[in-house]
A = this chain, B = another copy of it.
Amino acid sequence: MEALKTQLEENKQKYLDELFELLRIPSVSTDPSFSDDVFEAAEFVKKKLAAAGADEVELVATKGYPIVYGEKIIDPNLPTILVYGHYDVQPADPYDLWETPPFEPEIRNDSIYARGSCDDKGQMYMHIKAFEMMMEHDTLACNVKFMIEGEEEVGSKHLSKFVEENKDKLKADVVLISDTSMVSIETPSITAGLRGLSFLEVEVTGPNKDLHSGVYGGAVANPLNVLCEMIAKLKDDDNKVAIPGFYDDVEDVSQAERDEMASVAMDDEVYKRSLNVKELRGEAGYSTIERTAIRPTLDVNGMWGGYIKEGAKTVIGAKATAKISMRLVPHQDSTKIGALFTKYFKSLAPDSVTVKVSTFHGGEPYVTPIDSTAYKAASMAIEKTFGKRPVGIRSGGSIPITALFERVLGVKSILLGFGLDSDDIHSPNEHFGLFNFYKGIETIPYFFKYFAEITQKNN
């Protein structure tokens, strides 16, 4: 393994240059105007995976963006690791808040600044480089399969079909994913739990056209006012979600786990300072880390209506629209929650408007058992390279496909993420520490090594 470390030291600039090439491709999957770029990113990943030494490398066409597949089967008796990642990225809006353009990567403060640097191009690319090094030094300890998709940021729309139709091809002992973050470099951690997601768009329509607010104001329902009133009723005074039945299936987390969370929690004052807010706001009765990890919540992610440019326009807009998402915790079901939301939301509408609710993608909450072989291997790998035993944490984010892998392939996922919460992954100025990028490349081969060793010992 020492040879790998030397190789990494000698190739740092080369690996970084390659990642920069990938980061320059604006593969925004949610916006059709970037469609060509998303395909170009897929081609790039395919080429690099093949160059790294994978066999059977292909772009599997879907009705959306293609899945990059490749594998290296060295011995059918060895365990198999299925590496999952994604080459698509979040939109970069609002562009004017980026200090440097989102698709022109730059190093500042020892970090790579670019959309996708952390989520997930940077983390996904660590796996290709780690694999390449293991191939070159003949130290690959497990069989490996790669499945890198281009639709993670739009709910992995076409991945489930691919997974269901290729159960044999994808057969593996564990799914390895680097798409999460650690508590900090000083407190390395493994994400043992993830929240699920239910994402909807609501549209409130009043009159059949935009109206002059002087002529009609006071006599007709204003869709923007009405939508505000409806959204205000989605939470109660304790900041609990007011949708009937919303909390029915929520997992009760043990006091032991709550205590462990409290032990690694960031101080609220530090948290407030980092966000420049006077006060935090969340569900009564829970700490900050609990609110983001073990409690479900509801946020308006976007809203618009009427005249939204500079200056004044005295108009009553015909429509008002909002994008609303709910983060879910274990035992909540995204489809059921979406239905409860829709029913309640429609019940809030006065007769003077009509309401349309559309469902975007959802995803189920997920928990990784901390006594599993994969968790142990990941823990040992991190302890080896960080010099510290990692803590198990629950994260507020969602990686919906983990539930899919478990259901269809019958395997657990291990979330070996090297990002930080402060990486601004869905915000302007997304970045990924150089330390984290290289440490990821260094740690992954140890995971392969320990996963093979523990699996063989168990047999």
Interface, chain A (partner B; CB < 8 A): 30-32, 90-91, 93-94, 97, 153-155, 181, 195, 197, 199, 206-222, 224-225, 227-229, 231-235, 271, 275-283, 288, 291-292, 295-317, 320, 322-323, 325, 327, 350-354, 360-361, 395-398, 421, 424-429
Contacts and interface: CB of A to CB of B under 8 A. Distances in A.
Contact of A302 (B214, B302, B305): B305
Contacts of A231: 224-225, 228-229, 232
16 contacts: A97-B209, A199-B312, A208-B276, A209-B428, A212-B397, A214-B395, A217-B299, A218-B282, A218-B297, A224-B231, A225-B234, A228-B229, A228-B231, A229-B232, A232-B232, A279-B351
Given A220-B281, A398-B214, A307 B302 contact: yes
The count of identical subunits is 2
B424 A209 contact: yes
A291 B218 CA distance: 5
A198 B395 CA distance: 46
B323 A301 contact: no
A297 B209 contact: no
Contacts of A32: 310
Nearest to A429: B209
Nearest to A286: B218
Given A217-B297, A299-B222, A398-B214, A312 B154 contact: yes
A221 B427 CA distance: 16
Given A214-B398, A218-B283, A282-B218, A30 B300 contact: no
A309 B93 contact: yes
Nearest to A226: B281
Given A225-B235, A303-B304, A424-B209, A327 B396 contact: no
Contact of A300 (B234, B306, B354): B306
A397 B215 contact: yes
Contact of A314 (B197, B283, B320, B353): B197
B224 A427 contact: no
A125 to B, nearest CB: 20
Query: Which 5 A/B pairs are nearest by Cβ-Cβ distance?
Result: A30-B311, A214-B397, A218-B297, A302-B306, A232-B232
A83 B396 CA distance: 64
Contact of A213 (B299, B352, B424): B299
A218 B314 contact: no
A192 B39 CA distance: 64
Contacts of A93: 307, 309, 313
Nearest to A223: B300
B30 A276 contact: no
A300 B212 contact: no
A412 B336 CA distance: 64
